[in-house]
Amino acid sequence: MPPRLILRDMWGKDSRGSGDRYFLYIAIPIAVVLMGIIIHDPAFLAQYTDYAAIYYRSHDRVLPGYPYIDYEFEYTPIIAALWLIASKTALYLSHLGYDPFASVVRSFYIINGFFYALYVYAIYKISEERRVPRALSMLSIASPSIIYYLFYNWDIVATLLMILGVYFFTKGRIYLSSLLLGLGSAVKIMPMFAVLSIFIAIMLREPRKALFFLLLSVLTAASPFLALLSIHPPGFFYFLSYHSQWYCENCFYILLTDNIYDQMLRSLSISLMLCTPIVYTIIAMVRRTGDPHRSSESGSMLVPLLSVTLSISFSYIYSPQMNIFLTPLYLFLKNNSKYILLAQDMLNTMIMVLWFHEKAISSFLNIESRGPWFRESPIQWIAFLRIVLIWILVLMAS
């Protein structure tokens, strides 16, 4: 078969054999997990993870202590609970003679691997229901960013809850959707932008139900933080202070300023993050009015997911692991937009692949760089280009 026909078959033709399903939803996820372990495990390539940053910053307190109370912890209470499971497991294993840091990391292989397995199952159900081409299903569970960042942070947890919440919204399970999206937002704020998008969609039909949906999502998201505030207020206020004072991390305005702590630009970023899902949803719904193709269930899922994607692109913190939130988009992209997302995904992966080699890259290009955080760095050129590709993707997919 000519290469052109092979590519056409891969991207556009659907195959539903049991062998294909086994390969796609079992063999490929196992390969993703193994590659993630090879990339990050101390016994192999030992690439940086946020687990390492927490452990080595307070290595003498992490295992015997408790997050927020015995050492500073900048992540959400649900992540603190997962971290506590991993650290106490590592403490037990260290008493048996195992390396404590390796035990923490490997505990998260199990924790994140569990949520990843649930994510793969959710993608399987959605793909089968909507007869998604197998290559797009594959990319949604084995994108470059998932391979590299699955065991880097905890974004897979929030992404799973987000895609389930959006899916149940399309099924009319409004309150279950609200709970799942609120829980996802309690893990990481990004699913809340899907909440805003869905709130607008429901508001135009059933205002009272929309208000209840929003209230339930917000209360679900806020509950773990209120619990932390009541149990240990200093931990809650440290969390707020830490994130409110963070710098422009790979963000869209990095090329506009030498001051990565610029307060005005950060305020602009927050405003755009909040406004984008609302404005985009209204525009998308107006365009879909009277168009049966645009009003399909896949379209209903696409709008909240693109709202989250746009909000991420305008965030003053766009850590590369956040691209995991974009991976469900592969299921709903048509024409050339899937290639745009794949290119964006590959650039995003290159950020951390090259991050610790920035000095050598800048020297080779004869650039005087202050480090990979600043606008003159080639790393930030890559980070900015992936954001531009998001904007192009949204225009093409809308």
Query: pLDDT digits over 333-390, tens only?
Result: 988 999 999 999 999 999 999 999 999 999 999 999 999 999 999 999 999 999 999 9
Token pair of 244 as six digits: 């409110």
pLDDT class of 204 with cuts at 50, 70, 90: confident
Token pair of 33 as six digits: 């997990």
Positive or negative torsion for Cα 338, 339, 340, 343: positive
Q: What string of DSSP letters covers 80-130?
A: HHHHHHHHHHHHHHHHTT--HHHHHHHHHHHHHHHHHHHHHHHHHHHHHHH
pLDDT class of 4 with cuts at 50, 70, 90: very low
Please give the residue that has the higher pLDDT: either 129 or 11. 129
Q: Contact, 102 vs 123, CB < 8 A?
A: no
Q: Residue 314 has what pLDDT?
A: 98
In a domain? residue 7: no
In a domain? residue 2: no
Q: Residue 251 has what pLDDT?
A: 97
Least confident stretch, 71-75, 109-113, 204-208, 287-291: 287-291
Rounded Cα distance between 196 and 288, Å, is 18
Q: Residue 287 has what pLDDT?
A: 83
Q: Residue 8 has what pLDDT?
A: 41
Name the pTM for this structure.
0.93
Helix, strand, coil percentages (3-state) for the chain, rounded to 5, are 75, 0, 25
Q: Residue 332 has what pLDDT?
A: 94
pLDDT class of 278 with cuts at 50, 70, 90: very high
Q: Residue 183 has what pLDDT?
A: 98
Q: Residue 9 has what pLDDT?
A: 38
In a domain? residue 338: yes
Q: Contact, 310 vs 280, CB < 8 A?
A: yes
pLDDT class of 16 with cuts at 50, 70, 90: low
pLDDT class of 398 with cuts at 50, 70, 90: confident
Domain that holds residue 167: 13-397
Q: Contact, 304 vs 166, CB < 8 A?
A: yes
In a domain? residue 183: yes
Q: Residue 255 has what pLDDT?
A: 94
Is the per-residue pLDDT at 11 higher than 90?
no
Q: Residue 3 has what pLDDT?
A: 40
Is the per-residue pLDDT at 323 higher than 50?
yes
Number of CB atoms found within 10 A of residue 229's CB: 17
Is the per-residue pLDDT at 153 higher than 50?
yes
In a domain? residue 257: yes
Is the per-residue pLDDT at 13 higher than 60?
no
In a domain? residue 330: yes
Number of CB atoms found within 10 A of residue 374's CB: 17
Positive or negative torsion for Cα 96, 102, 104, 108: negative
Number of domains in the chain: 1
Dump pLDDT digits (tens) for 229-264. 999 999 999 999 999 889 999 999 999 999 999 999
Sequence-distant (≥ 6) Cβ neighbours of residue 10 within 8 angstroms: 133, 134, 135
In a domain? residue 6: no
Sequence-distant (≥ 6) Cβ neighbours of residue 34 within 8 angstroms: none
Average pLDDT over the chain reads 92
Dump pLDDT digits (tens) for 70-107. 999 999 999 999 999 999 999 999 999 999 999 999 99
In a domain? residue 349: yes
Cα distances from 59 to residues 51, 218, 391, in angstroms, run: 11, 35, 41
